[in-house]
Chains A and B, each alone.
Chain A
């Protein structure tokens, strides 16, 4: 007979209730671990797809507005800029029905290699892209979706330009998450001249590669300074923040996650506290007798609280284990084919594990403290009078 034996025996008293409460805590900790991992996973995703040295420049009014074509050259001349490439949205539809199913841009093909040296594109394919005026470079996602191969010819019908263009696929961006379809700006301009007598003189987005990360801020300032008071005021963003806009405000997202996490925790504390007070009430006779035969208040308090804390910590550890298993499963599913996209980057970090364990400890403490204290504090004579 030991203190530990007493606490453990009490946990086994109502096995179903212990299992339900433990299960609720396990699920809550699992959920919280997953929620806490979400922002980190997204951050990692951004790290993956976005470079430190690329900057996007677009019209301050929004991504759909354009800037004068001459702007690209000016940006290229800013101190610290290694390369810049202008692109414009073509809005071409491949499928019948005129729906745009992948992003396609007319781009200054001769600058692509300099701005995207990190992209997995074969050197010869890049050279072909520059050489053939109707050449297109396509991301693996779109290539695989339509079963295209290098050398294939495809036609895109533009939803915004008055010209439909035929392309020869000359290269592949070998990243399973890349949907892009790029073709030469010259090809678009020539088609427009043939059709309307003149080419469009504007550019949609300019992507800039800084010579090194320390130059990024000064380049962004210079771009905005340069465009101020012109009729197309421009903003510059790093590639990371550019993508963050697609995800919505990451900060707001994190705040919501924290809020949900807090509510889940609170909810589970109430559930566990309810169990604890039910236990205390059912055992009031025994507790009164224990006190009468000389167990001090701190012993009663300690063993009741210990019971809840042991339960919640064990349940929390199981939850953390499940979260690890879940992340491992996602990764092995995502392994190689990338069809799970960002989910493959779902990695439960050590801090999240520690937080999960701490959380379960915290749940146990908070849930147990009030009922245990109440039971411990009640005068013995009163407790005996109430039960006999």
Chain B
């Protein structure tokens, strides 16, 4: 565990960059430092590998004050990934990846084995890429090597300063996914700096929100989204994201219902009703009057049953609709009604009881598929497993 205790940082030019920072970075967690540019994220992170020293206060790793450790030794035991990657252009990929174990004077074979294993793990086949040079790799591939370099000497702690922010959106997503995957396997203590809230929400176990050298809020992503500490946090999260969060959790029936269900006036004859059901391929009709008041419903079976009696209208054979749900109700309420009364569909009505639309099982599934497209398993990834 890493602890910052009453840390202040005043730069030589008198700038007070960090003001009484107290933080705990838990073992085996990804803690994301986030905040506007210049708020002191990098300054905070660099305290941990002694690239920065506090003007006052202490930095403790597993209870040890790091000001008593040899900074060069300390850094070899902490992985470090930066935005500009900083792979050495004159060393090939294998050399770059193995640079920290070499500094630690590991055995050559052991280094090679470790490097090859890690390169393969991040999707860079070591026989293809090991002998290439950084200029021969894409930005995303280079940063993968940057991550391998940080992992190679098996440090418990890894610092990542906006590691993915220079990448195109697709590579960024991929690397975020990979980081999450790696972390499940490796369980490192990771401190990750970003100013991208989506990235933070995606990868963080804990988010630390900073502003002007101070910590504004610390907590699980979910907690911060649900209970932003103040307007700054709310603004920083973005009203869009807050709203999305709430609507995704509890969509309203109005978003889910089909707005053009098949309806018929009460005066329709049975033959007409069958014709309509046939052409719209439905097994029931909702009967509404000219004021769009819901009168009842007929199923195909009822109509066929009474078909012989000419002159009968749907009003004669319909059954009353006992359940409906008001516009503005949540989908959860609708589903609960459908569930407890074994309904295959549920009309939505406005405050004047006018018919607006229909919730069906199909419409619920369709809505979920739109909101959570990822629950549909991707087809291509099958063979890699």
A and B co-occur in one complex = no
Binding site for A on B (CB under 8 A): none
Q: Which A residues form the contact surface with B (CB < 8 A)?
A: none
